Amino acid sequence: MKKALSGLLFVFCVAIASAVWGQTPPDVLVRTTVDDVLAVLKQNKDRRVLQDIAEKKVLPHFDFRSMTQLAMGKSWRDATPAQQKTLENEFRSLLVRTYTAALADAANVDRKVEVKPVNLKPGEDYTTVRTVVTEPGRPPLSIDYRMTLTDKDWKVTDIVAENASLVISYRGTFNTEIRRSGVDGLIKVLADKNKQGS
């Protein structure tokens, strides 16, 4: 799962840099931005630079509230609005660190990305962008991006690598911690992890 996660994060970071999702079909956008971002990755290996790339060009295209809600499952309804916002912020910080690490790994690997065509019908506000990642010495990796159109912008709500959902992979851990020490306990665990990684 760790290798799959690294691969899927790489593809997503490459796919949506400098994007205006609501104006360009997702598959066309992926194809036209891959070369530009690969060039950036080859020149910048400093983690602070990579984190800046993730913060400014990638993460604005995530729907973190929906992702956190999906990861929490039924427990989301038990959290207060203040707890929900804190969970969203902590989950976002966790993913920022994960993406930055994936970008750093990608800077030293010769990966290629094949983007499958997407046939969007008029009025559709949900789609899945399918991609295949290849790199020397490893089997191809299938990665899907589940996306929703909100306020004229496409937002990622989940990433699925080889049928493994990024969001759902957190649900078991989140719910175990909630059963052990409640929503505040989960917030503390996420905050502690983020502090350790800073």
Per-residue pLDDT of the chain (198 residues; tens, 9 = 90+): 555 555 555 555 555 444 444 456 666 655 655 555 556 666 767 777 777 766 776 777 788 999 999 999 999 999 999 999 999 999 998 887 777 777 667 666 777 778 888 888 888 888 898 888 888 888 998 888 888 888 777 788 888 888 899 889 999 999 999 999 999 999 999 999 988 865
DSSP strand pairing (112-115 vs 138-150): unpaired
Q: Provide the whole-model pTM.
A: 0.77
CB 68 within 8 A of CB 91: yes
**Amino acid identity, position 123:** G
**CATH class of domain segment(s) 2-197:** alpha beta
Instruction: Sort 119 into a burial class: Cβ within 10 Å, 0-12 / 13-18 / 19+.
Output: exposed
Report the pLDDT value the prediction gives residue 77, as an integer from 0 to 100.
93
Report the pLDDT value the prediction gives residue 74, as an integer from 0 to 100.
92
Instruction: Sort 171 into a burial class: Cβ within 10 Å, 0-12 / 13-18 / 19+.
Output: middle
What's the CA angle centered on 55, arms 29 and 108, to 5 degrees?
75
Report the pLDDT value the prediction gives residue 17, as an integer from 0 to 100.
44
End-to-end CA distance of the chain: 24
- What does the DSSP assignment read for 151-167? TTEEEEEEEEETTEEHH
Cα distance between residue 62 and residue 154, in whole Å: 9
Instruction: Sort 178 into a burial class: Cβ within 10 Å, 0-12 / 13-18 / 19+.
Output: buried
What's the CA angle centered on 18, arms 56 and 53, to 5 degrees?
35
Report the pLDDT value the prediction gives residue 190, as an integer from 0 to 100.
95
Phi, psi dihedral angles at 152 (to 5 degrees): 70, 5
